[in-house]
Structure 1
């Protein structure tokens, strides 16, 4: 059966030249053609049309353009392919549960709360972690204690040589008082905790007078953390929580350690609680498998 006949030839047809031009075959680009797509059989000697291939001279099989990504020519495919690094691929790989297998940027979850935190948790909420303040929180009391030791020690020795026993006793008593104050500040730092659950954030502090401030996660409308130059160098920061323009007991939390990781932890708990539950389930399964092995 023959092919259907085309339209009759008409030399006066005004669209004949356009149709013939549009149906001309496009010449393929071989591996030996010039760099980029601008050089090839029948395509002219213009510059490359790709944004990622440089306009300057260079080999036709590789290049690096304005985006910073390397492109490699595939002779078999006849076009250039982007070169993706292993680090970029690691961020795209996931396991069977859909969790990323690359480097985790969120701190691992704590298993159990300390006795200090456990007394403030009700049975239906799930513990996510607790943190003490950064050591910079007690740097000032410690520095005062060290300076007082040197100054009062020198003063006591000087007064003892002058045979002024009463003043020496006063200097020693003053040193004991300062050391007691420093010990109190260190104890308060130890009992000061920032606690995160799946429902709220809390700050617990105080030794004799205990203070517990909390804010439900559903009421947090804005959260940010600030780092001074010293905070960036020593890895601590200040968290600021906002709640619908209302006055709240918990707004500013100073000197928290690893603020970037802690920020990701809180934001993940606020916006992706399912991801946290999936990670917890995966870690629990891995722990059971290790125990079984």
Structure 2
């Protein structure tokens, strides 16, 4: 009995060529050359990524010499293929509404020149139910009391009741104006909350510092489409953590997350929308 057969180095005349000891693998040189030539002729029609001399290039998603260590690069998806995912291509409704063009004068003063504005939102009208309910209740109660005192000819107390009613209505009006000037703002660099009529308060958090973000919706919030945003930051002192009564929380959540993780997609969509408007 002879000793163990010495290993043979594979010949690299073509990708995946069997070793020189063809008898051990059941291959024949002439047959293998015919099969290789046939494969090259068949694959030459697969596309521009194939070359008969060099095989499939890595940029086309195939290894050039068949080695498993070659780097794999995914195929490039064109804009025409992505267009089929949009509403025009039947890919379903768009979850993120178009971006607003310009900030209002109320918000523009708090943005610096290189900051790109993404949108601003007032709180949901549900936040006014408390003040409006108090105003309606005070109107009914004090109106009944004023009528009763008038019938009793107690004019001094009627005047007091009317003054109390005016004070309550003024407070309700203040709350409505405060709601109107209260804005949640998103830019490409931060989220902000601006509120206050006489004393303005501006709270902000950079998007780079946001470590976690979630929103909460009660049963009534799901019915009326509002929720509470909770922002977590790496810092301990957070000027902006919980924002209540934000409208359309699911869409707003998607917009903030997209701005955090896919800012290039936002810029591309914004540029495409502006080109469409110009056309």
Q: Does 1:220 align with 2:210?
A: yes
Other-structure match for 1:142: 132
Other-structure match for 2:113: 123
| Alpha-carbon offset, residue 245 of structure 1 | 5.1
Q: Distance in 1 between matches of 2:124 and 2:97?
A: 16
- Structure 2 length normalisation: TM-score? 0.69
The structure in which a higher percent of residues are helix is 2
Aligned pairs for 1:77-92 (under 5 A) are none
| Contact 1:107 1:262 (8 Å CA) reproduced | no
Other-structure match for 1:203: 193
| Alpha-carbon offset, residue 94 of structure 1 | 8.3
Deviations 1:139-160 (A, max 9, x none): 1000110111111111111110
Q: Distance in 1 between matches of 2:113 and 2:129?
A: 37
Q: Distance in 1 between matches of 2:161 and 2:80?
A: 69
Question: Structure 1 residues 136, 279: CA separation in 2 closer, same or farther (over 3 Å shift)?
Answer: same
Other-structure match for 1:267: 257
- Structure 1 length normalisation: TM-score? 0.65
Q: Distance in 2 between matches of 1:146 and 1:232?
A: 26
Q: Distance in 1 between matches of 2:173 and 2:129?
A: 12
SS at match of 2:153: coil
Question: Structure 1 residues 198, 97: CA separation in 2 closer, same or farther (over 3 Å shift)?
Answer: farther
Other-structure match for 1:98: 82
Q: 1:107 aligns with which of 97, 100, 123?
A: 97
Question: Structure 1 residues 94, 133: CA separation in 2 closer, same or farther (over 3 Å shift)?
Answer: farther
| Alpha-carbon offset, residue 98 of structure 1 | 3.5
Q: 2:236 aligns with which of 246, 250, 257?
A: 246
| Alpha-carbon offset, residue 217 of structure 1 | 0.2
| Alpha-carbon offset, residue 105 of structure 1 | 0.3
Q: Does 1:172 align with 2:155?
A: no
| Alpha-carbon offset, residue 198 of structure 1 | 0.2
Deviations 1:97-123 (A, max 9, x none): 835322210122111000011000000
| Alpha-carbon offset, residue 230 of structure 1 | 1.2
Q: Distance in 2 between matches of 1:108 and 1:226?
A: 24
Gaps of 5+ in 2: 1-76, 88-92
Other-structure match for 1:23: none
Q: Distance in 2 between matches of 1:245 and 1:211?
A: 20
Segments ≥4 residues shifted beyond 6 Å: none
Gaps of 5+ in 1: 1-92
RMSD of aligned Cα (Å): 1.5
| Alpha-carbon offset, residue 243 of structure 1 | 0.6
